[in-house]
Amino acid sequence: MKWAVPALLLALALGSALLALGIGPVSIPASQVFSLLLSGGATPEARILRELRVPRVLAGLVVGAGLGLAGAVMQGVFRNPLADPYLLGVANGAAAGVVATLAFGISSREARPAAAFLGGVLAVFLCWRLGWRRRELGLILAGIALAALFSALTGFLLLAFAGTRRVEEFLFWSMGSLARVSWPELRILGPTVLAALGILLPWARELNALALGEEGALHLGVDPHRARRVLLGLSTVLASVTVAFCGVVAFVGLVVPHMVRLIVGPDHRLVLPAAAFTGGTLLVWADAAARTLRAPWELPLGTVTALLGAPFFLYLLWARLSKGL
């Protein structure tokens, strides 16, 4: 019975994706979505579904799953409920890596996630070194400072090396968007997130052990230093590959793990898959809102998620401060 809730969350994610296929400036009734996809016709609606909606909705599922997983892992590793890729500066570090490839004319799809990963690794390493002694708020303060530093570096690279067109392209991308994700990008995003999920699930025991502290983990036969390195590396890969193709989508990794822990409890064997499925559902609907609230104009996806996540972060921060941490 313990797997019933993750199974229901998976069904909810898939159902949300099917419904979201019909939502947009051009509305397509749900009853026609399947027939248009299977017909292989050349009608405008069929082309919109095949070329725009399907890759975009799949990207929402994959990116949301990756961010939800990354947030759950980072909160477990740092034993800090405020941790997530955005607040620890990982997303901004990854963005700086991507902009470096744009500024210096490196345009291959494979180079962008590699550069994003290097930027994300640098950010998480610096955040760890600067903020570990004050784990509760020290990490967050270090992350905020690093995010500002990487943002300044990003701005410098853009203004110094990139052309006007690339600056405009980056400004929209930097606020988060699934609009430019197509099938080639999904061929990198999808396998990366699925592989990370498959690798992380067996490490749920180590995450549970880390919740007991270093001594508790050692008593359970877990090497906390090795576990942290592996888990932080995988979560940084997840955060970086999403930034490489979709920009900075804030607060999904913060909010989703808290939501699923209220439903399935603290056991990471359930938290990890539940966070992946819930993150996918959340981002699919956030993207649907982004492309319909001001249609035919599109809102940045990161703006929508920040409107949801920033008040939640402020509540968590107030709760921690009220306890004197």
- Angle of helix 54-78 versus helix 268-292 axis, rounded to 10: 140
Cα 305 to Cα 175: distance, rounded to the nearest angstrom: 10
Select the more confidently predicted residue: 304 or 166: 304
Instruction: Yes or no: say if 229 and 52 are a contact pair by the CB < 8 Å rule.
Output: no
- % of the chain residues with pLDDT over 70: 92
The structure tokens listed for 195 are 């592989």
- Say which residues have a Cβ less than 8 Å from residue 106's Cβ, sequence separation at least 6: 115
- Mean pLDDT computed over 257-261: 93
pLDDT, tens digit (0-9, with 9 covering 90-100), for 210-234: 988 888 888 888 998 899 999 999 9
pLDDT value, residue 168 = 67
pLDDT tops 60 at residue 325: no
pLDDT tops 90 at residue 203: yes
pLDDT value, residue 35 = 78
Cα 318 to Cα 136: distance, rounded to the nearest angstrom: 13
The structure tokens listed for 196 are 């990370």
Cα 263 to Cα 270: distance, rounded to the nearest angstrom: 10
pLDDT, tens digit (0-9, with 9 covering 90-100), for 117-162: 999 999 988 888 886 655 556 777 888 889 899 988 888 887 777 6
pLDDT, tens digit (0-9, with 9 covering 90-100), for 267-313: 999 999 999 999 999 999 999 999 888 877 888 898 899 998 888 88
Instruction: Yes or no: say if 199 and 244 are a contact pair by the CB < 8 Å rule.
Output: no
- Positive or negative, the CA dihedral 13, 193, 237, 5 is positive
- % of the chain residues with pLDDT over 90: 43
pLDDT tops 70 at residue 1: no
The structure tokens listed for 247 are 């920009």
Confidence of residue 324 (pLDDT cuts 50, 70, 90): low
Domain chopping of the chain, boundaries: 4-322
Q: What is the mean pLDDT of the chain?
A: 86
pLDDT, tens digit (0-9, with 9 covering 90-100), for 87-110: 888 999 999 998 888 777 776 777
Select the more confidently predicted residue: 223 or 319: 223
CATH of span 4-322: 1.10.3470.10
User: Which of these, 179, 184, 185, 169, lies nearest to 24 by C-alpha position?
Assistant: 179
- Say which residues have a Cβ less than 8 Å from residue 173's Cβ, sequence separation at least 6: 180, 246, 247
